[in-house]
Amino acid sequence: MSTLLAVLAGIAGAVIVAATVLSAVQTLAVPRATPLWITRWVFLAVGVAFAPARRMRDYTRRDRALALYAPLSLMCLPLVWLTLVLLGFALVFVALGQGWSDAVVESGSSLLTLGVREPPGTGAALLVFVEAVLGLGLVALLISYLPSIYSSYSRREVMVTGLETQAGSPPSAVELLSRLAVIEGLDELDGFWAEWSRWFADIEETHCSTPALVLFRSPQPDRSWVTAAGAVLDAAALVSSTLDLGRRPAAELCLRSGFLALRRIADFYAMPYDADPAPDDPIAVRREEYDAARAALAATGAAVRPDPDRSWRDFSGWRVNYDAVLLRFAGLTHAPTAPWSGDRALEFRQVALPRRRMR
């Protein structure tokens, strides 16, 4: 091999190793979402294999198939990282004068700490030690990373599961408030809003630092973190606009916590939304649907505000803050059908770590 080709091979190998290590560290260790092309393409490649599942008409079968998508993508990431490190060091060994097949065996032996090849010199021995450390480091990072993912997932799903008791399955804001009206519990909602405000803060932190969690599905096919978020936010919007309970600051703070969390996660996925919408901008909920919800609440004995037009304007003014991102997340995650969220999901199938949208 000519000197020029050897130098180019060495540079290419070093760049591959550096980019791979950076990708692994930023994905597994840096508590901030940073879109990287390696992670992006792994998710895209695995997503291609799941394309037929997304077209299944039977939702139960589609949900069962898509439940494997995010875990498999995460499991493929370390395999890709290790393969790229192996390739990068093989190019460096080629630059040091080894043949291609010998360089691959040398790199694989070092990466997997098999020790089947003895390095030919001091320089090669140092590279072998570096590669072995990187291989062990990547495995150790992954081992420490997976428990944190499933801890975050478990916290999220405990709340989603508990909501079924209050809001039905799939969850509905109207059903939640109707049940509370029947048992005269509407005045005791402040604790509920505080609890869900903390949940929104938690998913903002975890789903921004580990965006793959967005795509992890609930254990039951009729549950979803997206539809749960939608039901809670719609319930808070109805309390703040429609029910005659006096002003409820806790509900309004829950609304703000919710739409800010959804927007921050949406920023990572480059979802379009209006950061400062007008209160009278259109929303996906139609006036007749709102009127039916208002009538259903009144039928359970809940006190509703006397001016339906003003109540509709107030409800729309709250809903417009989260309407677009909620429905796009419902489309992205193939959320189950649920009132005012999964039943009108916006098409947004981008699933793999795009560039951050700058605003």
Indicate the pLDDT class of residue 222, thresholds 50, 70 and 90: very high
User: Angle at Cα 22 formed by Cα 130 and Cα 73, nearest 5°?
Assistant: 105
Chain centre to alpha carbon of residue 300? 37
pLDDT class of 323 with cuts at 50, 70, 90: very high
Asked whether the predicted pLDDT for residue 330 surpasses 90, the reply is: yes
Q: Which of 67-71, 133-137, 220-224, 282-286 has the lowest mean pLDDT?
A: 133-137
Other CB atoms closer than 10 Å to residue 177's CB: what's the count?
27
d(CA 264, CA 186): 30
Name the phi and psi angles at 243, rounded to 5: -80, 140
How high is the pLDDT of residue 354? Answer: 40
DSSP state for residue 300 in the 8-state scheme: T
What is the mean predicted confidence (pLDDT) over 5-18? 88
CA 338/CA 307 separation, integer angstroms: 28
Tokens of 157: 């799903």
Task: Give CA–CA dist 78/274, Å, rounded.
Answer: 37
Kindly indicate the confidence band of residue 356, based on its pLDDT and cuts at 50, 70 and 90.
Answer: very low
pLDDT at residue number 162: 94
Q: What is the pLDDT of residue 355?
A: 40
d(CA 318, CA 340): 14
Q: What is the DSSP string of 316-346?
A: HHHHTTTHHHHHHHHHHTTPPP-TTTGGG--
Mean pLDDT across the chain: 87
Do 40 and 73 contact (CB within 8 A), yes or no?
A: no
Q: What is the pLDDT of residues 86-131, one digit of tens each?
A: 999 889 888 887 778 888 888 888 887 766 666 676 777 788 888 8
Of 92, 77, 6, nearest to 44 by C-alpha is: 77
> How far apart are the C-alpha atoms of 238 and 293, rounded to whole Å?
9
Query: Given pLDDT bands bounded at 50, 70 and 90, which one contains residue 149?
Result: confident
Kindly indicate the confidence band of residue 36, based on its pLDDT and cuts at 50, 70 and 90.
Answer: low
Q: Assign 353 a pLDDT band (cuts: 50, 70, 90).
A: very low
Give the span between the Cα atoms of 83 and 41, in whole angstroms.
14
Domain boundaries, the chain: 3-143, 168-344
Q: What is the pLDDT of residues 287-319, one digit of tens each?
A: 999 999 999 999 999 999 999 999 999 999 999
Say if residues 166 and 282 touch (Cβ distance below 8 Å): no
